[in-house]
Amino acid sequence: MDASIGSRVRTLLERSTMTQRALARDVGMAPDALSRAISGQRGFAAVEVANIAQTLGVDVHWLITGTQDPRRLRIAARHTFDQASGTYENATRGDDERVLGNIRLAYRHAFRDGHPEATRLPSDLDGVRERLGDAWPLDFAQRLEDRLGVDVVRVEELATPYSFWVADRAVVALPDNEPWGRANFSLAHELAHLVAGDHDVEEGGTSAESRANRFAAELLMPGGALRAVDWSSVTAQDLGTQLWELGVTTEALRVRLGALNIAVPDRVVEWLRLPTPTFLRHRAFPASRWTAVTDRERAARARRFPTALTQALEDRVAAGQANPTTLAWVMGVDVEDLEVQPPEPPDLSTYDLAAALGIALG
């Protein structure tokens, strides 16, 4: 078994930028001991396996057995629609799953026994809208956490949005390069996957994606409300206010109006062909509101983790119960720049440390 562990450690090192010597240092092993363990000349202690898994960001179950943990991350199949071919694809899934694994690791370090608050979602769109309350698109991410118990994470390393479950907690992860209108649609789309239970199947396919898009469009741009608008009298300022309050892009609203077969004047069509920031700044809003547009854009692109997770990680690092590297990654800073630092490690033997972790050594 240990020889298999060694081969998996070797493979992980080959795929990462970490050297074998650096790994030995970070997990508290002599370089020669790690080298011999990787080559199968000595066994790995249980605590060494646990420390290696934590340092390399992999699951202990996989490191020991070579098979996926039955409790592994459940991700709804995420696809990007290719206009040219009319098909859905996701070429970045492999790279993105490593980032999602890091997010999951942060949850495990912060909440060892599971998130204190489980997500309990409504079963349909009307229930979602009722729970969200009024004016929710203005801060959709925070409202999802506060009213629906869905955590929102935003990181640079992702190429496309995802939703998944960590134990009983629902999480939506977004790349940090989406403007606020597109980010809101992504949040609504992933919320649809969570409500529909698409994470319980291996591949949702195009039908799941289409269903999620319909859910998102109706949640953000209700057909009844759009049909009630007197579009013949809409001014640029009216349209700007509507886009701002709905939290959508000009393109999304134009496509939605077309899908609903709602006829609008040519001037409205032309406005909706402009990029959202351009229309808001130069056609709809006075200069006094341009700063608000910029602030909303910056907020949508800022790195984000739930405050509860960050606080729990800080507490565990301060208590010496979590790796500060995880906290640094969550906060997007270098380890040396953390205000919270772990205590000095006690002078324990391997057997004392294993006993403290509840691990029996052979």
pLDDT digits (tens, 9 = 90+) for 100-124: 889 988 998 899 877 889 999 999 9
Q: Which domain holds residue 27?
A: 1-69
Least confident of 35-44, 184-193, 214-223, 249-258: 35-44
Say yes or no: 92 and 216 in one domain: yes
The span from the CA of 168 to the CA of 343, in Å, is 31
Say yes or no: 28 and 151 in one domain: no
Q: 195: closest CA among 166, 216, 180?
A: 216
Say yes or no: 128 and 264 in one domain: no
So what's the pLDDT on residue 321? 85
Say yes or no: 215 and 111 in one domain: yes
Q: 65: closest CA among 121, 4, 152, 109?
A: 4
In a domain, 361, yes or no: no
So what's the pLDDT on residue 222? 98
Indicate the burial class of 8 (C-beta count within 10 angstroms; 0-12, 13-18, 19 or more). buried
Say yes or no: 191 and 259 in one domain: no
Least confident of 128-137, 302-311, 330-339: 330-339
Say yes or no: 215 and 227 in one domain: no
Total structural domains in the chain? 3
Say yes or no: 88 and 183 in one domain: yes
Domain boundary, last residue among 69, 87, 107: 69
Residue 81, strand partner residues:
88
Least confident of 47-56, 73-82, 166-175, 282-291: 73-82
Torsion 157-163-165-171 (CA) sign: positive
In a domain, 349, yes or no: no
Domain boundary, last residue among 285, 319, 335: 285
Least confident of 199-213, 223-237, 312-326: 199-213
Say yes or no: 107 and 206 in one domain: yes
Q: Does residue 80 carry a pLDDT above 60?
A: no
Domain boundary, last residue among 69, 96, 126: 69
In a domain, 351, yes or no: no
